Structure 1
Amino acid sequence: MLDIMLPFYGREDHFRAAVTSVLQQDSDQWRLVIIDDAYPDPAPGAWARQISDPRVEYRRHEVNQGINRTFQECLDLSTATWVSVFGCDDLMQPNYVRRVAELTAQFPDAGIIHPGTDVIDADGAPARTIVDTAKAFYRPRGPRPRVLGGEELAVSITRGNWMNFPALAWHGPTVRGMGFRPGYQIVQDLALALDVCRVGRTLVLDDDVVFHYRRHRGSVSSWQAVDGTRFREERAFFLSEAETFDDEGWHRAARAARRHLSSRINAATQLLPALRAGDLHGARGLLAYAAGR
């Protein structure tokens, strides 16, 4: 029912915990494919090869391919009706697969399932950052599960991307037919969600917490935020989407994309870390971006 695709490049302890959380699912309707993006330390791969469960497959790249190409490979290798691109440092609760199955059965027109998610830190303790507080602010309110689609969904996730990408389950035939847009390292999940939205599929947002999203400074999105790389990519993406939205007649979504207010607020929160790192050039860029210049 669900292909869990796990691109790996990171800490071995986080990786082992992530894989173990899949093995502990209380439903057997899953397959796990680990794609090792040529991580320098061979120990995690050696451990993964020893897993005897026939539902687990391990692959390793000869050279590092990077996030976008590896994510696309996840879609290309998937075959199930539903697919998750699981984070190698995140955790599934034992009922994750079962809850996704319940929601897909209840909402057959869905293109994206967003199960309930909470946030943990590098040590696995509950965490709450400024970013997660902002996500909670932008996340739609109302009874759950809630179905969002069309321009309503486009406005919601463009105004503030409240989704936790590794927790999502995607409708396999839909996303395999479109793929991740090449060239993106940060906004590829938002771009794919908007593409799913454009073909008429919906997003189902649930509150039952079955997934732990790990927030820590070692993640790609965290260090690219500090050096400003993230925001250069986001600005180009949002301005391009605004033009597309206008062409589609989704003018509210176009305005949200041009303002990209939550992205600019996020940039402002990175000013202090940049200054602490002595990166005055990066700090000036972050300030300009936060101001909308």
Structure 2
Amino acid sequence: MATFEFMLPYYGDVSLMQAAVRSILGQSDPDFRLTVIDDGQEPDVPGWFAELGDDRVTYLRNEQNLGITKNFQKCVELSTADHVVIMGCDDLLHPHYLKTVREILKVNPDLGMVQPGVEVIDGGGRVTSGLADNVKEKLYAPTVRGRRLMGGEELAASVLRGNWLYFPSICWRGEALRAVNFRDEYSVIQDLALVVDLLERGEQMMVDNTTVVFQYRRHAVSESSVQAFSGTRFTEAERYFNAVAERMEARGWKKAARAARFRSASRLHALTMLPGALKRGQTAGAKTLVLHALTGGQRH
């Protein structure tokens, strides 16, 4: 039985999903399973998977649309492998992704998470570097030359200050992932919440910058950015940061609590989304963005 599993929650563009699947099947290390959970109704998708003829691939279609968070939760619940990747259905792997992650896990078998090397691509598949990713790299990501083991308050404070991780690229220890899963109450910030939950359980992460093995696709407009223009994303962020700041304080993680209360990256993000909200005539959303940028949504 394969000890490594790719879970692919799918909804949206068929051709991008097919490219993602091909990049998984093109791994130089062939010892894995792929489970696709289709949350859409595109008519030709089941037939395409049937024609693949690869017994490593399992394709499931939801009877009704579950939405992002529920489908992610289903991916976690159906996973069984020792190590799991919940990959974006429009992202791509380099052929040596699995080989590289396995090498890290061979030396560090108890790791809860591995953040491998990532490059960002646009909707057309071209390597790019926009404002969001430059901010991640320059302001919030820790300095890593080669590989660096992180965990506890150090990593919690770092990601609460600004979430520099690329969630779909992360390899998770299956047992730890299934013990936590995604929180029902979040639809946009659920990836950050999951990481912090695992850190509170004592899990550690290896950050690897030795080689790029994953292509993260950043579109001009995504589900999260649509919610950002309306201000919905930041209302959710405020709820999360307020709650997690109290947890960090109770744990004695003072730096992490301060990072959650100040939430600098979230406030900066709100400021950058303001022109787009105004351009789209979303006046109420613009007011929410301004308030979040100025105060982080905290009431004084």
- Do Structure 1 and Structure 2 share a fold, with TM-score over 0.5? yes
Where do residues 131-150 of structure 1 align in structure 2 (5 Å cutoff)?
131-137=132-138, 138-150=140-152
Question: In the alignment, residue 42 of structure 1 is paired with which amino acid?
Answer: P
Q: CA contact under 8 A between 2:144 and 2:208: conserved in structure 1? A: no
Partner of 2:89: 88
Deviations 1:19-38 (A, max 9, x none): 0101100001211000001x
Q: CA contact under 8 A between 2:118 and 2:169: conserved in structure 1? A: yes
Partner of 2:215: 212
Deviates further, 282-291 or 52-61: 282-291
Q: What's the CA shift for 1:224?
A: 1.5
- Are 2:104 and 1:103 aligned? yes
Partner of 2:8: 6
Partner of 1:238: 241
Q: Distance in 1 between matches of 2:259 and 2:252?
A: 13
Q: Distance in 1 between matches of 2:174 and 2:148?
A: 21
Q: CA contact under 8 A between 1:79 and 1:172: conserved in structure 2? A: yes
Q: Distance in 1 between matches of 2:142 and 2:173?
A: 21
Q: Distance in 1 between matches of 2:188 and 2:171?
A: 18
Deviations 1:65-98 (A, max 9, x none): 0111111111111111100100000000101111
TM, length-normalised to structure 2: 0.95
Q: Distance in 2 between matches of 1:211 and 1:147?
A: 19
Partner of 2:166: 164
Secondary structure of the 2:117 match is strand
Q: Distance in 2 between matches of 1:74 and 1:218?
A: 24
Q: Distance in 1 between matches of 2:228 and 2:255?
A: 27
Q: What's the CA shift for 1:102?
A: 0.7
Secondary structure of the 1:133 match is helix
Q: Which runs of 5+ in 1 are unaligned?
A: none
Q: Which runs of 5+ in 2 are unaligned?
A: none
Runs (4 or more) in structure 1 with deviation over 6 Å come to none
Partner of 1:201: 203
Q: Distance in 1 between matches of 2:267 and 2:153?
A: 22
Q: Distance in 2 between matches of 1:144 and 1:220?
A: 33
Deviations 1:149-175 (A, max 9, x none): 110011011100000010001000111
Q: CA contact under 8 A between 1:15 and 1:44: conserved in structure 2? A: no
RMSD: 1.1
Partner of 1:249: 252
Q: What's the CA shift for 1:219?
A: 2.2
Q: Sequence identity of aligned pairs in percent?
A: 43
Question: In the alignment, residue 258 of structure 1 is paired with which amino acid?
Answer: R
